[in-house]
Amino acid sequence: MKRMSRFPLVVVLCAFSLLFLTHGLVKAETITLKGVTAWPKNIGHSKGMLTLVEVLDEMVAKQAPGELKIQYVGGPESVKTSDQVQAVQRGMVDIANTSGAYYTHILPDIDALKMTEWTPAEERTNGVFNYLVGLHEKIGIRYLGRTGANIKFHLYMNKPMKAADLKGLNIRVSPLYLPVIKGLGGNPVVIAPTDVYQALERNVVDGYGWPAVGITDWGWQKVTKYQIEPGFYLVGDVMLMNMASWNKLSKKLQDMLTQAVIESENRTMAFWKERSQNEAQVLAKAGVQVLPLPPAEQTKLLQVVYEESWKDLTQKAPKTAPELKKLLTKAK
């Protein structure tokens, strides 16, 4: 009788043993991170996110099959550009590829990044990256890196400039170069990128500021006459991640994502270098003239740009501006 009563127990133990053995063979569920860009998918600035998706897929396939992926949700049509960083903070999306100019109302300090004199790779070794990681942690975000690829900004005008002076001229702005336009005496006009073409066509604005690459994405070369030299600032496109989403990743996956961002920075740099060469030819064919200011006026323009910008940042972020200036500026 005792021997017979042991039989059900043996069956149960065997069942549990089989369960535990097979459990280890079941693949863990894929962690899917939702990603957005501040620009439509076809705009060059979205290349950072699209490249990251591609690079991460390559790395995961080799090192951790099925464990992690980024799902590109879309651009402003999915989450309004000005709301994307808050969406990252709240966990509505996991990663955003955006511009520092689009979240200065949340983190004023980030406005300094446009004045960096370093490449993304250099920033990872000279203290800039770690400092930015610390600043973003305070707002519940993991700073992943910069995909701006060291492209300069320029003033694009429909009236020739002979001096570092914009008095009487209406210039389309974003918060990024508001201090510049004010410092040069221009009238700042806030217009969404989608409305700039019409504003130029109807002479609502006389010019605008934009990176050296990208105006062909919007077709603005058709309604632009001059690209003013010298250029200034560097594009500060960044990759941001929800802190909780970051913390949920294992150390292995965190390291893999970090390496994917670094590789995407390198590929994006190469992309923008080639793109800038091609776009210069397109602008020339469209009739956009490169118009260098006289040497003394070039010096004056750059002086106004950086003096006004650091002054503006010091007012907005007095505690961090001195350290940011020290980190972002090369010793002269």
Confidence band, pLDDT 50/70/90 cuts, at residue 245: very high
Q: Are residues 261 and 293 in the same domain?
A: no
Q: Which residue is listed with tokens 């019409």?
A: 198
Q: Is residue 279 part of a domain?
A: no
Strand order in the sheet with 68-74: 68-74, 31-37, 95-99, 237-242, 141-146
Contact between 148 and 97 (Cβ < 8 Å): no
Q: Please check the confidence at residue 4 and state whether its pLDDT lies above 80.
A: no
Q: Is residue 294 part of a domain?
A: yes
Give the pLDDT score at 299.
Answer: 97
As a whole number of angstroms, the distance between CA 37 and CA 50 comes to 9
Phi, psi dihedral angles at 306 (to 5 degrees)? -80, -35
Which residue segment(s) compose the domain that 137 sits in?
A: 31-148+235-274
Domain total of the chain? 2
Q: Are residues 221 and 192 in the same domain?
A: yes
Q: Is residue 13 part of a domain?
A: no
Give the pLDDT score at 209.
Answer: 95
Q: Are residues 37 and 177 in the same domain?
A: no
Q: Please report, for the domain that includes residue 220, its CATH number.
A: 3.40.190.170
Q: Please check the confidence at residue 239 and state whether its pLDDT lies above 60.
A: yes
Q: Return mean pLDDT, the chain.
A: 91
Q: Are residues 141 and 50 in the same domain?
A: yes
